[in-house]
Amino acid sequence: MGTAGLPTYEISGTRRELGRQHGEAAREQIRGSVAFYQESFERTAGLKWAEVLRQVPRWDPLIEAYLPGIGEELHGIAEGAGIRYEEVLALNARGELSHGNPFSDSEEEQPEGCSSFAILPEASGDGHTYAGQNWDWLAQTGETVVLLRITQPGKPTIVMQTEAGQIGRHGANSAGIALNANGLGARFGKGVGIPQPFIRRRVLESTEMQGALKAVFDSKQSVCTNLLITHRDGFAIDLETTPARHGWMYPTDGILAHTNHFLAFVPEQIAATYRPFSVNSLWRLPRLERGLQAVRTANAPSAARAAIGDALRDHFGFPNSLCKHDDQRLGTGDRYHTVASSIVDLTAGEYWISAGPPCENDYRLVPWNLYPVEGAHVEGASPPQTPAVTAAR
């Protein structure tokens, strides 16, 4: 267990080397994830594991064209964990497989929780830029969540929280870009699209906002997902992405928050019948926006983090609250829970995380600063406009 309360691994090198190190270090969690999703996919997508493994190679040409060389990393994870390549690919398509059959033409919803935020310097009492979220996902996956620090030649260093075996989820990089994401539920259109971890990894490998946004707009996806991208220089944009057009929003008075329903627009493909798949999203959003207002008077980073943490611990509507708790009244099926909560100080380069619901766990500083030591340089990355804390804690 790492100092941040989660298994914490540093991986570096080529794509294949990254994968092998990831697979070896997180072998137990990866195998646990495979065992869980074997059962879960049959319930949610109606697909037996053998059929999943037969179908997943259909993603190979799409992901390789979109993120060249990423197949090498997946093969490395399989080698390191001692499992099949197709099983790693299935883990990275879990969003597409968890709530419907992505290989059919049916239009099914894809529930996934999460409440994300960005706070720009004009809204924070300490003048820092913040980003983060409560990551709500299947309670049974909590034991598979890991922290990774990924160092690749010529690319920004990434600090990321993810399910073991997945190559992209939520995180931030040494170029000062943070990515947070929430599900939007709806699925429409035909054809197999690029699974979300590949889109998110390409965002996190970006050295500037142009590359981060192109990673989103260049993709052909099959599900609707919200992506909130924040830059340390005081910029944030929220993207409601779909298999067709995308919508976008900017902060209001320096604060931007999003949960799990469309705000910028409702896609015409579902507009006539649209209803948010997660009704608690309708109260989590205003509760989060209200709670974050306290950051405006926080005149030090510790006070800002405390104010953000208080907002993320909100229990209105418990257990379907901002701080989400497994509702055991639902029986033994798939249930949802805050599996991790993050607060990222993009100005100082500090990544704070709570393993599980933040009401039950303290936020701990991960053992790495986002920004490279003095004198180091990532190709294409600009230096931070304010001094970064570079010592690992």
The pLDDT tens digits of the residues spanning 43-62 come to 877 889 999 999 999 999 99
Domain 8-97 = CATH 1.10.10: yes
So what's the pLDDT on residue 44? 76
pLDDT in tens, 302-332: 999 999 999 999 999 999 999 999 877 765 4
So what's the pLDDT on residue 123? 98
The pair of structure tokens assigned to 115 is: 């409440």
8 Å CB contact between 182 and 114: yes
pLDDT in tens, 185-198: 887 877 789 999 99
Residues of the chain with pLDDT under 50: 104-110, 332, 374-393
Query: Taking all residues of the chain, what is their mean pLDDT, rounded to a whole number?
Result: 89
User: In the chain, where are the structural domains located?
Assistant: 8-97, 115-365
Predicted structure pTM score: 0.91
Cβ-Cβ contacts under 8 Å for 268 (sequence gap 6 or more): none
108, with CB counted inside 10 A (0-12, 13-18, 19+), is middle
According to CATH, the topology of domain 115-365 is Penicillin V Acylase; Chain A (3.60.60)
The gap from C-alpha 218 to its chain's centroid, in whole angstroms, comes to 19
Region of 109 (left: φ > 0; alpha: ψ -120 to 50; beta: rest) is beta
So what's the pLDDT on residue 1? 63
